[in-house]
A and B are shown apart, each in its own frame.
Chain A
Amino acid sequence: MNNFSIALKSSNDLVVIMPKGYVNDLGAERLESTCEQFFNKGIRKVVINFSDMQYLNSIGASVFTGMVQKTLEYKGLLCFTNIKKIHLDVFNMLGITKHVKVFKEELEAINFLKGKK
């Protein structure tokens, strides 16, 4: 994947993951493994900020499906923020948003998660 990277911000019990660029091949698997690494460290609150994600296809959708599944297995909390409508439509269509909280801005998600145990 030439056009994909991940930025991370973590504090205490919360991590913000920012996929950047094209989420359209197996390189995006790193998102799933990154998420799992935080779960294993005991950080169960995850925000995914989509503001820099430019493109999503079925392979990318599969990766996010995997992240949601991991969140369910680890009994974590997953929030999506800053999603473009076209991507939100895909997540809705696939039933992914049934298992995550969607916020407009990252800060809203962080504040929401801070209030959660």
Chain B
Amino acid sequence: MKKKQQDLKRLLFNIASLVDLGQEVTSAKGIDEKMKTALYVVTGMFSVPKAGLFVYNADRHKLELVTCKGIKDADGTSIDVQTKYIKAFQKNTPYNISEARNNSFYERNAEAFRRLQAKTLIPLFAKDEFVGAICLGKRLSRTSYLHSEKDTLKVVASQMAITLHNSSLFKKIKNQVNENKKLYQNMRHIYHDTIQAFAAAIDAKDVYTRNHSYRVARYAVAVARELRWKAKEVEGIYIAGLLHDIGKLIIDKGLLNKGETLSAAEIQEIKRHPQISYDILSKIKFPWKDVVDFVKHHHERIDGTGYPDELKDPDLSDGVKILAVADAFDAMTTKRTYRKKLSLFDALREVNKCLGTQFDNRISKVFFKVLQKEIKGEIKEAQILPHLDKDFDPTIITTLLESITAELSY
């Protein structure tokens, strides 16, 4: 009667422990903690003070320690497992190490088994794949495993094998994702570098527009950020800024650098560049939306008198409007073949004068606000200010910007 009661208690404890194990291996904990807790469940079930859990590294033919209990300085412990041994293992079945003292598997790993004080090895198989092993030390009860206990160990081992298998799959996927991320980042850098090189080539065609594309891209980024565009959209307008004049590569260099007044035909020729830019860029599948649209229409005007399509306000996107202001502002604040550069004060007044005809009020107001913030040092990474001449009076410019933006608010 007493024996039956003890068996029943043991059975209940084992069931409860299996429930604990099930909860642990399916929990949201990190895999390392999950494995450690699972090992504690097993060692608690069978009163084993020392144990180790190993994962199989197929490339190295080694069992590598994942976690252990009660063993000091066990880090880096591994067990040599050749294919012939794996074939000899019975799936998830406890294996008495002391009975195998004379075989080559034990001899090869005698030092590791001694360090782990291992008495029992349970090879872990998920389906037919060898995934790891549990090494158990001497039991506190000093008893050997009963038949029923060996059966319980098999159940525990299959559950841990599946967890180990899933975790190694998860790790593989995670590594692959990280690898892909790195590749993507590298490609992005190459992409950016290539585009920058193109921008430099575009600007090099006209001696007066050196770095123009880069500055337009930066100014556009400043406005887009102020408008709280998403990072990818900001990147898109940056690229559009760098490439907006790519069509000029096709225009005759002599014409671009001609100092005298241009004839009507020559003006028409230069005006072809947004369409040419579009023709070149529309062949490329950009990862950013609307780059091609921004580039094609950066010379359009709110009043519909721009080129190439004479689009009016409702048909112009914010990106186009941003690029239009950024492009014109940079043209005004740098020296051109046909005129001297304007002072910052005059350039801002010129933009203000063209509001509602050439430039969009709302976008221009944002441009003024960003510049104001940059002058006041309210923006960490200034995009416009570093490219402007430093000979202006910040108080005068700030006052001007305040009065323009106040006027625009009405």
| Interfacial residues of chain B within 34-63, with CB under 8 A of chain A in the complex | 36-37, 40-50
User: A58 touching B70 by the CB < 8 A rule?
Assistant: no
Closest-CB distance, A5 to chain B (whole angstroms): 19
Closest to A86 in B: B9
A71 smallest CB distance to B (angstroms): 10
Tell me if A59 and B142 are in contact (CB < 8 A). Answer: no
B-facing mask of A38-71, CB < 8 A → 1, else 0? 0000000000000000000111111101101100
Contact segment of B10-18, B274-282, B351-359, B375-383: B10-18
The minimal Cβ–Cβ distance linking B342 to chain A, given in whole angstroms, is 68
Given contacts A65-B49, A94-B47, contact A58 B140 (CB under 8 A): no
Complex CA–CA separation, A59 to B17 (angstroms): 8
Which residues of A, 55-106, contact B by the 8 Å Cβ criterion? 57-63, 65-66, 68-69, 89-90, 93-96, 98-99
Given the complex, which residues of A lie within 8 Å of B268, measured CB to CB? none
Q: Is the CB of B41 within 8 A of A59?
A: yes
Q: Is B373 on the interface with A (CB-CB < 8 A)?
A: no
B40 touches A58 (CB 8 A): yes
Interface size on A, residues (CB 8 A): 22
In the bound complex, residues from chain B placing their C-beta under 8 Å from that of A66 are: 43, 49, 69-70
Chain B residue nearest to A24 (CB atoms) is: B20
Distance of B117 from chain A, by nearest CB (Å): 10
* A26 sits at the interface (CB 8 A): yes
Q: From the candidates B6, B10, B16, B36, name the one contacting A58 in the complex (CB within 8 A).
A: B16
Interface of A is mostly: helix
| B102 within 8 A of partner (CB) | no
User: CB < 8 Å: which of A24, A69, A89, A95 contacts B70?
Assistant: A69
Could you tell me the distance between the alpha carbons of A57 and B15 in the complex, rounded to whole angstroms? 11
Q: Which of B47-105 contact A (CB under 8 A)?
A: 47-50, 69-70
Whether B395 sits at the interface, judged by CB under 8 Å, is no
Tally of chain B residues near chain A (CB < 8 A): 29
A66 to B44, CA, bound (A): 9
| Chain B proximity of A98: nearest CB distance (Å) | 7
Interface contact B6-A60, CB-CB below 8 Å: no
Within the assembled complex, what's the spacing in Å between the Cα atoms of A98 and B37?
25
With A26-B40, A65-B49 in contact, do A89 and B9 touch (Cβ < 8 Å)? Answer: yes
A63 to B6 Cα, complex, angstroms: 22
One of B40, B46, B50 near A59 (C-beta < 8 A): B40
A69 partner, pick from B20, B33, B50, beta carbons under 8 A: B50
Q: Which residue of the partner chain A has the closest CB to B21? A: A58
CB of B42, distance to nearest CB on chain A (Å): 8
Do B140 and A98 have beta carbons less than 8 Å apart?
A: yes
| Alpha-carbon distance A24/B41, docked complex (angstroms) | 10
**B33 close to A26 (CB less than 8 A):** yes
Asked if B9 and A93 make an inter-chain contact with CB atoms under 8 angstroms apart, the answer reads: yes
CB of A25 closer than 8 Å to a CB of B? yes
Distance (whole angstroms) from the CB of A113 to the closest CB of chain B = 21
Contacts of A99 in B (CB 8 A): 140
Q: Which residues of A contact B16 (CB under 8 A)?
A: 57-58
| A98 CA / B47 CA spacing, docked (Å) | 12
- 3 interchain residue pairs of minimum CB distance: A95-B141, A62-B44, A69-B49
A-B contact pairs, 13 of them (CB 8 A): A57-B44, A58-B16, A58-B40, A58-B42, A58-B44, A59-B40, A62-B41, A65-B43, A65-B49, A69-B49, A69-B70, A94-B44, A95-B142
